Copies of this chain bind each other. A is one copy, B any other.
Amino acid sequence: MRHMDSTPLDALPTPAAVVDLDRVEANLRRVAAYAREHGLRLRPHTKTHKTVELTTLQLQAGAAGVTVATPREAELMATVADDVLLAYPPVGAARLARLVGLPERVRLTVALDSTEALEGLGRAAQEAGRTVGVLVELDMGMRRVGVQTPEEAVALARAVASTRGVEYRGVIFYPGHVRAPQVEQGPALREQSSRLGAFVQALTAAGLKPETVSGGSTPTLWRSHEVAGLTEIRPGINVLNDRNSVFVGACAWSECAYSVLATVVSTAVPGQAVIDAGSKALAKEEGMDPAGGYGALLDRPDVLVRSLSEEHGMLDLTGTSWRPRVGDRVRVVPNHVCASVNLHARLHVLRGGARHATWEVAARGW
């Protein structure tokens, strides 16, 4: 799936998803060093990039295993990883069949929050003659998924422990509601420690001490060690970064390794330039930055993509004296890298600023 490609960047048809491999490697080193320093197991979430190649680099750089969300991500990443966490309840016959059909060498763990999901998983695992680990999903305040109280956690963990085909391995949570910049996260992290402590204490008292406590999020990444009891982090975005991760202080602009190469196609309307990267290349997701917009130029971060149509991105030129011409090329860092990558069939990989390889975004879809 990886092949060398010597077409210069200038000749690449646009829009094109571009990855700076030097920055990727620096990002991989930084997160591996952080996890090592704090004794946290590193299990990156591959949903961000959906490529087998980047998963391989993550494992080489020190990841103990990978996180996935979909059957397709699981199947593809299992071709290179021996330890896979499906951080998603596998509900329904098709998802279960594909999960337990993964190669036997793969150590499988699944997150869930209901007895319905547990029973289905137990049956499928037994029929396949394998044991699947289970992490009980806790709601730490995001209000998306997860059991609500220590009592519910104990009841579900007990059910896991008494279900054949599965093995209780601990707890998992995702504090996606903490979106403040890193410098202001103290109170939220203390609240997380306290809430997590109550869950762990109740489980331990019931003889169900969690071996794995898996947590973390992009905004809180570099303060994960402040959450007492955490054993594992699952960073996704950090390998590529985006405008949102810069805004929350999880990375510097110079650590953004992903951008969309685009061509200026119109300057007819005063005060703006239109590029051929629209919502179908960048994703029309509101960002965290109150300045608005859907992305900013890699080389001119003060120039925002103010609005998007499907194939048009409108660059706001009102705050700059720069005036691009029709045919000029720019690179846009989107608000949310996962959503943008998912719109592209391939990533064009640069090394030292030159074309190096093309990676297929192979795990798109389900």
A181-222: contact bitstring with B at CB < 8 Å (1 yes, 0 no)?
A: 000000000000000000000000000000000000000000
Q: Are A13 and B94 in contact (CB under 8 A)?
A: yes
Cα–Cα, bound, A114→B274 (Å) = 12
Instruction: Give the contacts of A313-364 with B (CB-CB under 8 A).
Output: 314, 325-327, 338-339, 342-345, 364
- Cβ–Cβ < 8 Å partners of A88 in chain B: 265, 276, 311
Q: Are A326 and B95 in contact (CB under 8 A)?
A: no
Cα–Cα, bound, A310→B143 (Å) = 15
Nearest neighbor of A71 in chain B, beta-carbon distance: B13
Cα–Cα, bound, A92→B176 (Å) = 41
Cα–Cα, bound, A148→B267 (Å) = 11
Nearest neighbor of A50 in chain B, beta-carbon distance: B280
Instruction: Give the contacts of A101-155 with B (CB-CB under 8 A).
Output: 113-114, 116-117, 120, 137, 139, 143-148, 152
A270 interface hit (Cβ, 8 Å): yes
- Cβ–Cβ < 8 Å partners of A89 in chain B: 265-266, 326
Q: Are A47 and B310 in contact (CB under 8 A)?
A: yes
A268 interface hit (Cβ, 8 Å): yes
A258-295: contact bitstring with B at CB < 8 Å (1 yes, 0 no)?
A: 00000111111110101010011001111000000000
Q: Are B263 and A91 in contact (CB under 8 A)?
A: yes
A29-66: contact bitstring with B at CB < 8 Å (1 yes, 0 no)?
A: 00000000000000000010000000000000000000
Nearest neighbor of A267 in chain B, beta-carbon distance: B114
CB distance from A304 to the nearest CB of B (A): 16
Nearest neighbor of A91 in chain B, beta-carbon distance: B265
Cα–Cα, bound, A181→B342 (Å) = 33
Q: Are A266 and B113 in contact (CB under 8 A)?
A: yes
- Cβ–Cβ < 8 Å partners of A270 in chain B: 148
- Give the contacting residue for A326; candidates B11, B71, B91, B137; CB below 8 A: B91
- Cβ–Cβ < 8 Å partners of A116 in chain B: 325-327
Q: Are A145 and B312 in contact (CB under 8 A)?
A: yes
A162 interface hit (Cβ, 8 Å): no
CB distance from A234 to the nearest CB of B (A): 13
- Give the contacting residue for A91; candidates B11, B69, B276, B310; CB below 8 A: B276
A238 interface hit (Cβ, 8 Å): no
- Cβ–Cβ < 8 Å partners of A364 in chain B: 345
Q: Are A139 and B327 in contact (CB under 8 A)?
A: no
- Give the contacting residue for A283; candidates B267, B276, B284; CB below 8 A: B284
- Give the contacting residue for A285; candidates B117, B279, B342; CB below 8 A: B279
29 A-B contact pairs sorted by A residue (CB < 8 Å): A11-B93, A13-B71, A13-B92, A13-B366, A14-B366, A15-B366, A69-B311, A89-B326, A91-B265, A113-B266, A114-B268, A116-B325, A116-B326, A116-B327, A120-B327, A139-B268, A144-B274, A144-B309, A145-B268, A145-B312, A146-B269, A148-B269, A152-B268, A176-B309, A310-B338, A342-B343, A343-B343, A345-B364, A345-B365
Top-8 shortest CB links A-B: A13-B94, A116-B326, A113-B268, A145-B266, A91-B265, A89-B265, A69-B311, A114-B326
